[in-house]
Amino acid sequence: MTKYVYTFAEGNANMRTLLGGKGANLAEMTRIELPVPPGIIVTTEACLDFYQEEGGKFPEGLEEQIRQGIKYLEQAMDKKFGDANDPLLVSVRSGAPVSMPGMMDTILNLGLTDVSVQGLAEKTENERFAYDCYRRFIQMFGDVAMSIPGEKFEDALAELKNAKGVVLDTDLTADHLKELIQEFKAIYREHVGEDFPQDPYSQLLSAVHAVFASWNNERAKVYRRLNKISDDLGTAVNIQVMVYGNMGPTSGTGVAFTRNPATGENALYGEYLINAQGEDVVAGIRTPEPIDHLKEEFPNIYDEFHRVAKLLEDHYHDLQDIEFTVQEGKLYILQTRSGKRTAAAAIKVAVDLVREGKISKQEALLRVDPAQLVQLMHRRIDPEAKIEIVATGLPASPGAATGKVVFTADEAEARGNDGENVILVRTETTPDDIHGLVSARGVLTSRGGMTSHAAVVARGMGKPAVCGCEGIKIDAESELFVVGNETVKKDDVITIDGATGHVILGVAPMIEPELTGDFETILDWADEVRTLDVRANADYPRDANQARQFGANGIGLCRTEHMFMEPSRLPIVQEMILAGTPEGRRESLAKLLSIQEEDFYGILKAMAGYPVTIRLLDPPLHEFLPKVEELLVKITELRITKKDPERLSQLQELLRKVRALAEFNPMLGHRGCRLGVTFPDVYEMQAQAIFNAVSRLVKEGVEVYPEIMIPLVGIPAELELLREIVVQVAEKTKEREGVQFEYKVGTMIELPRACLVADKIAQHADFFSFGTNDLTQTTFGFSRDDAEGKFLPAYIEKKILQENPFAVLDEEGMGQLIALAVEKGRSVRNDLHVGICGEHGGDPESIDFCHRTGFDYVSCSPFRVPVARLAAARAELLNRNK
């Protein structure tokens, strides 16, 4: 006969598959002699055998084994199931081998009947409590086990309160509750077609049946499919004796952490309530007391709890979050789990545990969630401060900032450069606004998603941004925005928190980033373990310096278009684009050459000793010109007012040129290496600027490792052609300047076709850097600027996608292309250097993918570098034994 039922005492932590996660945990606590209320577990095997029969049927022997289990509990507690005087009551919970939502909710107080409820009332000398337990039990059992719509019971409760003229549930008397129980039983009868069961075993078997059935409900099935959890696991059922913290002055309930979850300090931290149930703590009607007070009030209980807490922490080697109940002077542990904690606490606890000799350095690395580290990298609003949040947008770039509101990039720049703290508020930003973003303390937009221009640029700069904040209505012309009933004018002060998306009127108190010694320690340990290099995306020397401070091993992406966008340079760029003659064009290029040379000199010098990947010009040329719409409006105005015919005809001419460059789908247009192919002089100028800077630095004795990256290659001949241009400039420069230097030429892999013909492309490439932003766009056919504002939210909500693929790399689809490209590339060139420079380079899950796929490095924004260092170490540890 298969053993379908285990007592807690018979199991242990390793029996997860058979007993479920919750059951194995309870068994483990029992095994190490913690005061856990006794219980039994119906195995996952019973659940699977249940499904052997079409529609489900208890396997042979299960019912009898459950009855034996209850007998065991009766003996342990010296009570009787369904007893009229002192009834044994139990809770019933599902518990699968892996945690998953969608499974059956808990049923408490099972075993109560019209008879046993009186026994409970007498025993607890609290009639109201007993009947309240009973009505809750009927409600939970009806809802959870019998699928009676929950609102039926809620409506009946509301009606009764109405009839009795009371507001709170707690105002209902025992008699009221007895009335309510009659109502509830009627509802039960109506929906189920029979009376509420008065046999406790019948209640119990129905509850077990309901848990089994919940394994195959729609929600659970969808969750398993989406999370790739096998349908063949089944769920266990935990049946545990109920204990009560509201049985008088020597009873109570509480929650405590073994260490402080905010700071990591090694001291019990928590609170409790005397003569109360868990839900009373949550309801907030009475104020709980700090756990320390227990020491004075009930020293024995405190000592016992303290002992148990240490035992648990030692056992699990981690900070524990423990729920306990004291029933008539006896301590029971109801649950323990790894406690949630702040990033600061996570780091301190991990480092302390290593120092205490309890865990290894490598275990410590697995205890800190890299995504959390972002919290530590930025100023943030003091969570203790009383502030009023007037609107919430997308948390687009972490960090908090306070400043005066301005509505144009020009004003942000002018006043920001004068030392004022300003927040740039725009409907959305465009590359024209870069100079304003540079000088503002932060940016707030009412449109655009997590990868909108403002968001991407702000993250790159490590500058706070709240984007897509639809709650604010901007009237840029009047220089104000409306939020709720408030009108915020230019120069009014606001605070934004890009980690939460919050917008606050006025000044909010801040906490500065804490780079404690422990933080550094953890990252040093990470560096010992990781095999992936971590580089930073940085366009300016100041970003490069920042990146070095955060531990970057190089620059993985230096975009040159931001340099083109700076207000002092834009006119020269426009001149070059609009030049009517080859001479005019050459003249503009010559001016740009010397400017770019200084750019590259600065960044290469800042990263002395480290590689710097410089991407040649990428965006379509029209991005540097005025917008068609703006010109059209001005032209129409001038046409009608007839005020300035000369200006009109200039603008019309300009419009013609702008229109000739305009595109239907700029993302898929004349950009990247396509510019290099059609305007080789631009790439040649950039290459010349780089190698001029390199030559100067070499002469100054500075170590430089330039890597020239050709963007948007999809056809091997593109790279062949453009590589040749770069190589020729480099070799000529060496000769002319009489210096020697090393350099690499490679490409950004950001098109599906590039992945498909990666073997042929690799013949001309020293390195591949995956541009996963664009690769996501083309693989999915999603324009990120449009998708995030239009249909992606609906896709996430409807679970068509589990995550935004611009935030977390799509391993299922795009991952195949990347893996193929790496394999093909290395097949012709086994020393091909492979990295990623899309935003995914700073996402821990995506970094794990890069590690598994054999990348050499990841590159991300400077403020993400610590995250990536830790994530890279974890990727190594987690995949080591696979």
Applying CB under 8 A, which of residues 782, 806, 855, 857 lies at the interface with a second copy?
A: 782
Residue 60 CA to residue 80 CA, distance in Å, equals: 25
Instruction: Give the contact letters, 689-728, x = binds to a second copy (CB under 8 A), - = no.
Output: -----------------------x-xx-xx--x-------
Among the residue ranges 112-120, 299-307, 566-574, 627-635, the one whose residues contact a second copy (CB under 8 A)? 627-635
Applying CB under 8 A, which of residues 418, 477, 629, 646 lies at the interface with a second copy?
A: 629
Residue 796 in the binding site for a second copy (CB under 8 A): no
Residue 186 in the binding site for a second copy (CB under 8 A): no
Residue 876 in the binding site for a second copy (CB under 8 A): no
Among the residue ranges 20-28, 625-633, 825-833, 863-871, the one whose residues contact a second copy (CB under 8 A)? 625-633
Q: Which is nearer to a second copy, 579 or 677 (CB)?
A: 677
Residue 532 CA to residue 441 CA, distance in Å, equals: 33
Q: Is the dihedral of CA 798, 799, 800, 802 positive or negative?
A: positive
646-685: contacts with a second copy (CB under 8 A) = 663-670, 674, 677-678
Burial class (CB in 10 A: 0-12, 13-18, 19+), 881: exposed
Burial class (CB in 10 A: 0-12, 13-18, 19+), 779: buried
Q: Which is nearer to a second copy, 487 or 802 (CB)?
A: 802
Reply yes or no on whether 469 is catalytic. no
Residue 662 CA to residue 489 CA, distance in Å, equals: 35
- Closest approach, Cβ 232 to a second copy, in A, equals 19
Strands 289-290 and 705-710: unpaired
Strands 236-241 and 90-95: antiparallel
Applying CB under 8 A, which of residues 149, 299, 517, 813 lies at the interface with a second copy?
A: 813
Tokens found for residue 40: 């039994």
Largest interatomic CA distance in the chain: 104
Active-site residue (options: 837, 840, 851, 860):
837
Residue 582 in the binding site for a second copy (CB under 8 A): no
Residue 92 CA to residue 145 CA, distance in Å, equals: 11
Active-site residue (options: 176, 378, 453, 840):
453
- E strand or H helix at 846: helix 844-852
Q: Which is nearer to a second copy, 109 or 778 (CB)?
A: 778
Beta-bridge partner residues of 241? 90
- Closest approach, Cβ 476 to a second copy, in A, equals 14
Residue 636 in the binding site for a second copy (CB under 8 A): yes
Among the residue ranges 77-85, 124-132, 149-157, 789-797, the one whose residues contact a second copy (CB under 8 A)? 789-797
Residue 640 in the binding site for a second copy (CB under 8 A): yes
- Which of helix, strand or coil describes residue 767? strand
Q: Which is nearer to a second copy, 13 or 756 (CB)?
A: 756
# binding residues, a second copy (CB under 8 A): 56
Helix axes 343-355, 517-529, angle to 10 degrees: 70
Applying CB under 8 A, which of residues 317, 531, 795, 853 lies at the interface with a second copy?
A: 795
Q: Which is nearer to a second copy, 197 or 431 (CB)?
A: 431
Residue 163 in the binding site for a second copy (CB under 8 A): no
Residue 109 CA to residue 120 CA, distance in Å, equals: 11
Residue 780 in the binding site for a second copy (CB under 8 A): yes
Q: What share of the chain is helix, strand, coil (3-state, %, to 5)?
A: 50, 15, 35
Applying CB under 8 A, which of residues 163, 282, 285, 633 lies at the interface with a second copy?
A: 633
Beta-bridge partner residues of 103? none
Strands 705-710 and 611-615: parallel
Distance of alpha carbon 242 from the chain centroid: 37
Burial class (CB in 10 A: 0-12, 13-18, 19+), 812: exposed
Residue 791 in the binding site for a second copy (CB under 8 A): yes
Reply yes or no on whether 453 is catalytic. yes
Residue 102 in the binding site for a second copy (CB under 8 A): no
Among the residue ranges 253-261, 315-323, 492-500, 776-784, the one whose residues contact a second copy (CB under 8 A)? 776-784
443-482: contacts with a second copy (CB under 8 A) = none
Among the residue ranges 370-378, 404-412, 481-489, 791-799, the one whose residues contact a second copy (CB under 8 A)? 791-799
Q: Which is nearer to a second copy, 32 or 721 (CB)?
A: 721
Q: Which is nearer to a second copy, 582 or 738 (CB)?
A: 582
User: What single letter denotes the amino acid at residue 815?
Assistant: G
Applying CB under 8 A, which of residues 794, 796, 803, 827 lies at the interface with a second copy?
A: 794
Residue 858 CA to residue 106 CA, distance in Å, equals: 45
Q: Which is nearer to a second copy, 63 or 759 (CB)?
A: 759
Residue 330 CA to residue 301 CA, distance in Å, equals: 8
Q: Which is nearer to a second copy, 706 or 789 (CB)?
A: 789
- Closest approach, Cβ 51 to a second copy, in A, equals 22
Contact 96, 21 (CB under 8 A): yes
- Closest approach, Cβ 157 to a second copy, in A, equals 33
- Closest approach, Cβ 226 to a second copy, in A, equals 8
Q: Which is nearer to a second copy, 338 or 678 (CB)?
A: 678
Residue 750 in the binding site for a second copy (CB under 8 A): yes
Residue 619 CA to residue 629 CA, distance in Å, equals: 19
DSSP string, 417-462: HTT--EEEEESS--GGGHHHHHHSSEEEESS--TTSHHHHHHHHHT
201-220: contacts with a second copy (CB under 8 A) = none
Residue 221 in the binding site for a second copy (CB under 8 A): no
Among the residue ranges 327-335, 522-530, 586-594, 807-815, the one whose residues contact a second copy (CB under 8 A)? 807-815
Applying CB under 8 A, which of residues 230, 641, 740, 881 lies at the interface with a second copy?
A: 641
Question: In Å, how far are 627, 656, 851 from 636, measured between CA atoms?
Answer: 14, 14, 56
Of 756, 753, 806, 818, give the one whose Cα is nearest residue 780: 806
DSSP string, 327-350: ETTEEEEEEEEEPP--HHHHHHHH
Residue 326 CA to residue 424 CA, distance in Å, equals: 56
Q: Which is nearer to a second copy, 37 or 468 (CB)?
A: 468
Residue 800 in the binding site for a second copy (CB under 8 A): yes
Beta-carbon count within 10 A of 553 CB: 20
Q: Which is nearer to a second copy, 165 or 781 (CB)?
A: 781
- Closest approach, Cβ 102 to a second copy, in A, equals 17
Residue matched to tokens 């508020």: 425
Q: Which positions are catalytic? A: 453, 837
Footprint on this chain of a second copy (rule: CB under 8 A):
628-629, 632-633, 636-637, 640-641, 663-670, 674, 677-678, 712, 714-715, 717-718, 721, 750-753, 756-757, 774, 777-783, 785-787, 790-791, 794-795, 798-801, 810, 812-814, 816-817
